Each structure stands twice: as structure tokens, then as C-alpha cells.
Structure 1
Amino acid sequence: MIAVITTLRDSRSAVLADVSSTGARLRGRNLPAEHEDLFIAVDGLSVFGTVAWADGDERGVSFDVPLQPGDEAILRERMVQGQGLPLELKAALDDWAQGFAR
């Protein structure tokens, strides 16, 4: 799933690789640094958080307030639906989110 990441300095897109009620794993280029505050908007849901860890092009984000169980379930369901996409389309979406296809 594509997420929009906003900090005080800029906005960019990233791939929402995993999500739980307390945080998420993001993948993308030039994502915020560890300990940086951010705002994530994905599929009509918005949440504030802080980058808890950084590893290459991946970031772990800790949410300021846990997601409601229904919101987490919706995001997980949509992530599973996205896994049913053809591999070529998933790769193209990942490239676009990470800035390779612009």
C-alpha cells in the first residue's frame, strides 16, 4: 500500500510494508531519520508517529496513539488484497513510491 509521509520539512510517498495497532514498517527512498516526528496518511486514515528505527530504505514507526482495532483490520485487509496484484504491477507501484519511476 502507498502511504504519504509528511514531516515539518516535506512530504513523500512510501510503501506501507507492515502495520500493527502501535506502529508500521515503511519502505522508500529518503525517508525521515530516526527519532523524527511524522504524519502518515494511507487509505483515508491519518496517524502521527515517530521513527523508532532506520535500516537502509526501511523505517519502523511508532504511533503516538494506537490504531483503533477496526482501522488496523481495514489496513491489514487492504494490504492482503494488494498482495493479489500481478507482480509486475506491484513492482511498478513500489518503484513509483520509492522514486525510481518518476
Structure 2
Amino acid sequence: MPASITTMSAYQFPELIDISKTGAKLKGLRLPPKGATALLKTGPLEVLCKVMWVEGELCGIRFDEAVSPVILGRVERQGAVELQSPYEPATV
């Protein structure tokens, strides 16, 4: 699902491809460098994080605080809806 990640020097708009309560994996052409502190926004989630690794078009981030199960569930449901074909009825 679409996301934005903001550092002190740049705004990037990667795709969120995996998420847990403690971190996430992002994919994009331009990503913040390893060690950067950033703000991740996607759907109902807005969380401070740190870039832990970068490999090509992928990076892993660790959240400063664990995401609540309620917010995590909302993000996952929104991502599932966005993955559905426009010709399929919503199942979430």
C-alpha cells in the first residue's frame, strides 16, 4: 500500500510491503539511508522509525514504539482492500 517516509532532508513515497507491530519493509526507487530517523505515514498509521537496512529497492525500518494491535489491524485491512481488483466486491 502507498506510504510516505519523511526524514530531515527528504520526502519519499515508497510502497509498504510488510508490517509488524515493531517494524516494516518498504519498497521504492528512492529510500532513506541506513541509520536515518524518519516519520512513516500510511493509512491510519503515523509513527517515528529508524532505517535499519537498505538493499536495492528495499529497506527495513524499526518503529520507536510498538504499534497497537488495533492500528496494525486497520493498516492490514486497508492494504487488503487496496490489493483487490476493482472488479471484485470488497471482502474486508
Q: TM-score w.r.t. structure 1 length?
A: 0.79
In 1: Cα distance, 2:77 partner to 2:44 partner: 14
> Are residues 1:72 and 2:40 paired?
no
Listed one character per residue, the Cα deviations across residues 18-64 of structure 1 (whole Å, up to 9, x for unaligned) are: 11100010000110011111100111321000011111010100000
- Which runs of 5 or more structure 1 residues have no equivalent in the other structure? 87-102
Moved segments of 4+, more than 6 Å? none
Percent identity of equivalent pairs: 29
> Are residues 1:24 and 2:28 paired?
no
The structure with the greater share of residues assigned to helix is 1
In 2: Cα distance, 1:12 partner to 1:54 partner: 14
- Which runs of 5 or more structure 2 residues have no equivalent in the other structure? 87-92
2:10 match: 10
Q: Within 5 A, what are the aligned runs for 1:48-87?
A: 48-85=48-85
In 2: Cα distance, 1:24 partner to 1:58 partner: 11
1:96 match: none
RMSD: 1.1
How many angstroms does 1:71 deviate by? 0.5
How many angstroms does 1:66 deviate by? 0.5
2:4 is paired with a residue whose SS is strand
How many angstroms does 1:81 deviate by? 1.5
Q: TM-score w.r.t. structure 2 length?
A: 0.87
In 1: Cα distance, 2:42 partner to 2:71 partner: 11
Q: Work out the number of aligned pairs and report it.
A: 86
